[in-house]
Amino acid sequence: MQIPHDHPPILPPNVAVLLVNLGTPDAPTPAAVRRYLAEFLSDRRVVEIPPLLWKPILHGVILRTRPRKSAHAYAQVWSEAGSPLAAITRAQAEALQARLGPAVTVSWAMRYGNPGIAAELARLKAAGADRILFAPLYPQYSGATTATATDALGAALATMRWQPAIRTLPPYHDHPAHIAALRDDLAAQLRALPFTPQALLLSFHGMPERTLHLGDPYHCQCRKTARLLAEALAPEFPGLRIETSFQSRFGRAKWLEPATDATIARLAREGVTALAIAAPGFAADCLETREELAIRGREQFVAAGGRDYAALDCLNSSEPGMAMLETLVRNELSGWL
């Protein structure tokens, strides 16, 4: 049958990969941060307090006081390319595109803020993508990260009459390619330091402790990543003391322990004068690594009696990080390419 002359153009079907990370405000200003926090902290996956109790706190207290403080923190790590998380996720997408070639279209989105998941999904579909690998860049699974990203994907799909086929990247906390990438990248950074660390602190983002008791595997997966990474680093750094902690506590609820800030101070008090800190739960550097760990962590360490301190980079778009990401993505694209 001949296609009518007024028929919309039909693009050849193709495969796409959508990298997804948490999110970022559009600018390091109180107004932009307020919009971002309002979206982020209204997510029932992130804050599981009943809305009737939480909304007055969020709108009456947090969104009136926290945006200015957070904007100041963002301003310390912002660059011409934007926030670290957005700039690095974009670089990861571009590097992965170069590795996969023209047979795959690689894009990126944020769960909160811009570019949004729904908009990028629609754009890829309009460009002919009929098979999309949805790839949340969270090594360890949590309801507050991986699950809410998948929720947003489902909500976007629910608005589409003609949906693409979807696959999702599973957590990769113990994948050999992930552990090898962390080992190679962190070992290179440790060797390049102008001092020899006595300890390496592996800091993961914190979660309320109740999430563990409710069945969230995040805590266990973080601990496994830390154990496997410590074993992988041991042959080259046999005397390096390695500990694990959880950062970014918020509110009065009990969070996963030990806390990163308390651990930094404790190590200094115990006589550790040279400390390196890494964040193997983050695929890309962000406010939590470049401001909380690199700036405030150093201040906490020195105040407690420490001397030499280094916050190591995340995998970002490094060679080990991109080789790992390519391995994971090609595995999930099996049969589509």
* DSSP output for 184-228: HHHHHHHHHSSS--SEEEEEEE--BHHHHHTT--HHHHHHHHHHH
Determine the distance from the C-alpha atom of residue 138 to the mean position of all C-alpha atoms in its chain, rounded to a whole number.
5
Half-sphere exposure at residue 138, Cβ-oriented, CA atoms within 13 angstroms: 27
Which pLDDT does position 257 carry in this prediction?
A: 96
Q: Which of 169, 282, 298 is nearest to 225 (CA)?
A: 282
Pick from 8-12, 125-129, 255-259: least confident: 8-12
Beta bridge partners of 132: 16, 166
Percent of the chain with pLDDT over 70: 97
Q: Is the pLDDT of residue 196 over 80?
A: yes
Element (H, E) at 328: helix 319-332
d(Cα 66, Cα 52) in Å, to the nearest integer?
20
Which pLDDT does position 253 carry in this prediction?
A: 84
Length of the chain: 337
**What is the chain's mean pLDDT, rounded?**
96
Contact 298, 268 (CB under 8 A): no
The encoded tokens of residue 51 equal 């809305």
The encoded tokens of residue 225 equal 């990543």
d(Cα 337, Cα 153) in Å, to the nearest integer?
23
Residues 253-275, mean pLDDT to the nearest whole number: 97
Please, is 182 exposed, middle or buried when counting C-beta atoms within 10 Å of its C-beta (0-12, 13-18, 19+)?
A: buried
* 165-168 vs 241-247, strand pairing mode: unpaired
List, in order of start, the domains of the chain with CATH numbers.
14-172+321-332 (3.40.50.1400), 176-311 (3.40.50.1400)
d(Cα 242, Cα 198) in Å, to the nearest integer?
9
Please, is 54 exposed, middle or buried when counting C-beta atoms within 10 Å of its C-beta (0-12, 13-18, 19+)?
A: middle
Which pLDDT does position 251 carry in this prediction?
A: 77
Which pLDDT does position 208 carry in this prediction?
A: 95
pLDDT in tens, 8-53: 666 677 999 999 999 999 999 999 999 999 999 999 999 999 999 9
d(Cα 41, Cα 58) in Å, to the nearest integer?
8
Integer CA distances (angstroms), 304 to 67, 212, 264, 273, 311, in order: 29, 31, 8, 10, 17
Q: Is the pLDDT of residue 99 over 70?
A: yes
Which pLDDT does position 8 carry in this prediction?
A: 65
Residues 65-71, mean pLDDT to the nearest whole number: 96
Against a cut of 0.75, is the pTM above it?
yes
Q: Is 13 helix (H, G, I), strand (E, B) or coil?
A: coil
Q: How sure is the predictor about 209, in pLDDT bands with cuts at 50, 70 and 90?
A: very high
Residue 80, phi-psi category: left (phi > 0), alpha (psi -120 to 50), beta (remainder) = alpha
Residues 280-308, mean pLDDT to the nearest whole number: 98
Which pLDDT does position 321 carry in this prediction?
A: 98
Which pLDDT does position 11 carry in this prediction?
A: 66
Q: Is the pLDDT of residue 3 over 90?
A: no
